[in-house]
Amino acid sequence: MWCERCKQRPATVHITQVVNNHKTESHLCVTCAQESGVAPGKELGFLFEPNFSFHNLLTSLMESEFGPQSALSPYQAGIERCSTCGLTFTDFRQIGLLGCGDCYQAFGRFLGPLFRRVHGHISHTGKVPKRTGGKVRIKKEIEELRRKLQEAIAREAYEEAARLRDEIRAKEEKLK
C-alpha cells in the first residue's frame, strides 16, 4: 500500500479515527506523517502500543496495588531479597518473573493481592480432565455447591439452600 499523500513511498503509518460513528482511515509514509504532525509515537488521544507485553501489564497492576504510599508496600516492609536466589521485589517488578520457588514464600504476602487481581483467586483452580478426574471433579462440584449454599443462606433464600444441601448430599454419596 502506498502513501495516500505523496504516492511515492510505502505507507507505514496507519491512522483510524472514529468520530460520531463515522470511521476514517489514513495511510501515510513516515515523512508525510511527520509533515502533517502525526508522527509515530505521538499522542493521538488513544494510541495502541504495539510492544504490549505481560511484563507491562504486571507492572501496571503492581503500581496500582503497591503505590508509593501503600501500607503493604514491600519497600516499606523491609523485605529485601529472597534467601535462596537473592531476587529483590524491585527486581521482580522490573523483570516480571520470580527467581525460584522460594520467592513465593519470601514475597507471598505481596503476591496474594496481585494474584487475586489477575486470576480472581489466590489459589489455582484449573480444569480437571473429564476422563481421568472423576473424584476430583465431584469434589470441585461439591465445593462450588457449598459456596452457593453459603450465599443462599446469606440471602435468606432457604428453599434454594435446601435444594443445594440435598444436591451436596447426593454428590457426597456418589463420592463414597
Q: What is the pLDDT of residues 110-167, one digit of tens each?
A: 787 777 777 777 776 667 676 766 787 888 889 999 999 999 999 999 999 999 999 9
Which has the higher per-residue pLDDT, 12 or 163? Answer: 163
Crossing angle of helices 158-175 and 134-154, in 10° steps, is 160
52-90 pLDDT tens trace: 566 666 666 666 555 544 444 544 444 567 888 888 877
What's the pLDDT at 167?
A: 95
pTM for this predicted structure: 0.37
Torsion of the alpha carbons at 165, 168, 174 and 176, rounded to the nearest 10: -100
Which has the higher per-residue pLDDT, 162 or 94? Answer: 162
What's the pLDDT at 64?
A: 56
| 2-24 mean pLDDT | 87
What's the pLDDT at 158?
A: 93
Give the 3-state DSSP-derived string for 64-84, with helices as H, strands as E and coil as C.
HHCCCCCCCCHHHHCCCCCCC
Residue 174 in grid coordinates: 456418589
| 11-27 mean pLDDT | 85
Going by the DSSP 8-state scheme, the letter that residue 2 receives in this structure is B
CB 40 within 8 A of CB 62: no
Give residue 94's pLDDT band: very low, low, confident or very high (50, 70, 90): confident
CB 136 within 8 A of CB 128: yes
What's the pLDDT at 151?
A: 93
Which has the higher per-residue pLDDT, 67 or 3? Answer: 3
Q: Residue 66 burial by CB count (10 A; 0-12/13-18/19+): exposed, middle or buried?
A: buried
